[in-house]
Amino acid sequence: MYGWIWRHLPGPLFLRVVEAVVLVAGIVALLMFVVFPWAEPKLPFNNVTTQ
Amino acid sequence: MPPSRPRPVEPPTEVIPRVEDDYDDEYYDDDEYYDDEPAAKDVPPPDSMARKAVRGVGEALITMGLVVLLFVVYEVYVTDLLSAEKQQDATAALDSEWSSNVVTPPPADPNRKSQLNLIEGKAFAKMYIPVFGNDWKFSVVEGTTDKHLEIGPGHYKDTAQPGEAGNFSIAGHRVGKGAPFNDLDLLQSCNSIVVQTQTQWFVYRVLPMKSEVAGWASNPKSKEAACAGVAPLSTTLGDAYAKTVGQEIVVPTQGEVIAPIPHQVGATVPADKQARLLTLTTCHPRFSDKQRLIVHAIETKSYPVADGFAPPEMTEG
């Protein structure tokens, strides 16, 4: 998977490194701001109230 | 001229097939040493399906592990940042509200009733726990849904208001989201919890722990100044309060801990006979929601809010 992505990044080495960093940052941001906030209430970690 | 020595005949360069060695070819790929060799760099044979599949599964597992680690970072650190901003906004809104409408403190009234106009999601009081340090202060909002608790500790709707007879109950996160109640388990009996509304300060003190109830009268701690007004409720208010001690751990379904008289849901005790309690709830053990950690405290003092005045209890570090 990672090898495949690396081979398909266009441009010279320097550019490819930049592209890879941007990709990783984008995925981390997607997780932090969209996926985790959505998933968190569904997980049994942080309920603090009694019923 | 001496006869020239016969030069050995240079044998023609013999091309021998490349020897398969143990070295990983890829590892030496960028080694210049091999660069003058003819382009014998054979392209590695295409990976077999099995190899591809194994690699794909391995990479997927590593990726999932990284995502889980990232989730921990999110839960423990990132939510703190997001909540800190919301808490700040709530506090700013509360401060501007307090400074804009002038309310005279109500006269001291033992049967005081609720006077605060509580709006869900809005802060209405500030809370301090001096033993956690001067910087431990949170604005308490009305409501206990996830959205409310992201802002700060949340007041259970329909429980008493600060200083009211009954049970002023607050929930707060233990991990992440500002983690206001992270150290709730460290509270000892007689530690003060100070609540400030627009007009009044209320000082609550943690009740004696279950292990201290029996020997409280002979416990040297009970003579300390901090413990003035603190005694096991079963001795001062009777058996209805027998289960109300400083700290308890219950299962999430035990909502009776925030009843006006904890653990006595059906009890019909007139309001003027009820103690003025404060109950804090959070999750337990840390990082889990299997149980709830409960701290009960009783009001021992109240002061009217005045400019430049802070209760002496605030400095009990």
Measured between beta carbons, the chain B residues lying within 8 angstroms of A24 are none
Q: Cβ of B75 under 8 Å from any chain A Cβ?
A: yes
pLDDT of residue B254: 87
CB A48 to CB B289 under 8 A? Answer: yes
Which has the closest alpha carbon to B275: B140, B109, B163, B115? B163
ipTM: 0.89
Average pLDDT taken over every residue of chain B: 84
Q: How far is CA A14 from CA A2, A17, A27, B82, in A?
A: 17, 5, 20, 35
Range B270-274 contact pairs with CB under 8 angstroms and sequence separation of 24 or more: B271/B111, B271/B165, B271/B166, B272/B110, B272/B111, B272/B165, B273/B237, B274/B165, B274/B166
- Is the four-CA dihedral B290, B243, B110, B272 of positive or negative sign? positive
Which has the closest alpha carbon to B164: B304, B276, B278? B276
Establish if B173 belongs to a structural domain.
yes
Tell me what the mean pLDDT of segment B41-46 comes to: 70
Is B113's pLDDT higher than 70? no
pLDDT of residue B196: 92
Count: domains in chain B: 1
Measured between beta carbons, the chain B residues lying within 8 angstroms of A36 are 70-71, 74-75, 78
Is B57's pLDDT higher than 90? yes
Tell me what the mean pLDDT of segment A6-26 comes to: 93
Establish if B37 belongs to a structural domain.
no
Tell me what the mean pLDDT of segment A14-20 comes to: 94
Establish if B232 belongs to a structural domain.
yes
Q: A with B: how many residue pairs have Cβ under 8 Å apart?
A: 77
pLDDT of residue B218: 87
Chain A: closest CA distance from residue B121 (Å): 16
Rounded to whole angstroms, how far apart are CA atoms B212 and B264? Answer: 22
Tell me what the mean pLDDT of segment B102-129 comes to: 73
Establish if B54 belongs to a structural domain.
no
- Residues with Cβ within 8 Å of B266's Cβ and at least 6 positions away in sequence, in order, are none
CB A46 to CB B254 under 8 A? Answer: no
B256 vs B316, residue with greater confidence? B256
pLDDT of residue B108: 58
Measured between beta carbons, the chain A residues lying within 8 angstroms of B156 are 49
pLDDT band at B67 (very low <50, low <70, confident <90, very high): very high
Q: Cβ of B146 under 8 Å from any chain A Cβ?
A: yes
Rounded to whole angstroms, how far apart are CA atoms B137 and B152? Answer: 10
pLDDT in tens, B262-304: 888 876 777 777 889 999 999 888 888 888 999 999 999 888 8
pLDDT of residue B286: 84
Which has the closest alpha carbon to B275: B244, B254, B248, B305? B244
pLDDT in tens, B176-201: 888 899 999 999 999 999 999 988 89
Rounded to whole angstroms, how far apart are CA atoms B245 and B232? Answer: 7
Establish if B188 belongs to a structural domain.
yes
Which structure tokens are listed for B40? 């014998």
Tell me what the mean pLDDT of segment A1-23 comes to: 91
Q: Cβ of B282 under 8 Å from any chain A Cβ?
A: yes
Peptide bond into B12 cis (omega under 30): no
What percentage of chain B reaches a pLDDT higher than 70? Answer: 86
CB B281 to CB A28 under 8 A? Answer: no
Determine the structural domain holding residue B280 and report its residue range: 73-315
pLDDT band at B112 (very low <50, low <70, confident <90, very high): low
Chain A: closest CA distance from residue B255 (Å): 5
B27 within 8 A of B33, measured Cβ to Cβ: no
Which of B145, B283, B284 has the most A C-beta neighbours within 10 Å, making it the best mutation to test the interface with A? B283
CATH code of the domain in which B145 resides: 2.40.260.10
Tell me what the mean pLDDT of segment B3-8 comes to: 70
Number of neighbours of residue B284 by Cβ within 10 angstroms: 21
CB B283 to CB A36 under 8 A? Answer: no
Establish if B41 belongs to a structural domain.
no
Tell me what the mean pLDDT of segment B140-160 comes to: 91
SS (H, E, C) chain B: CCCCCCCCCCCCCCCCCCCCCCCCHHHHCCCHHHCCCCCCCCCCCCCCHHHHHHHHHHHHHHHHHHHHHHHHHHHHHHHHHHHHHHHHHHHHHHHHHHHHCCCCCCCCCCCCCCCCCCCECCEEEEEECHHHCCCCEEEEEECCCHHHHHHCCEECCCCCCCCCCEEEEEECCCCCCCCCCCCHHHCCCCCEEEEECCCEEEEEEECCCHHHHCCHHHCHHHHCHHHCCCCCHHHHHCHHHCCCCCEEEECCCCHHHHCCCCCCCCCCCCHHHCCEEEEEEEEECCCCCCEEEEEEEEEEEEEECCCCCCCHHHHCC
pLDDT band at B38 (very low <50, low <70, confident <90, very high): low
B50 vs B114, residue with greater confidence? B50
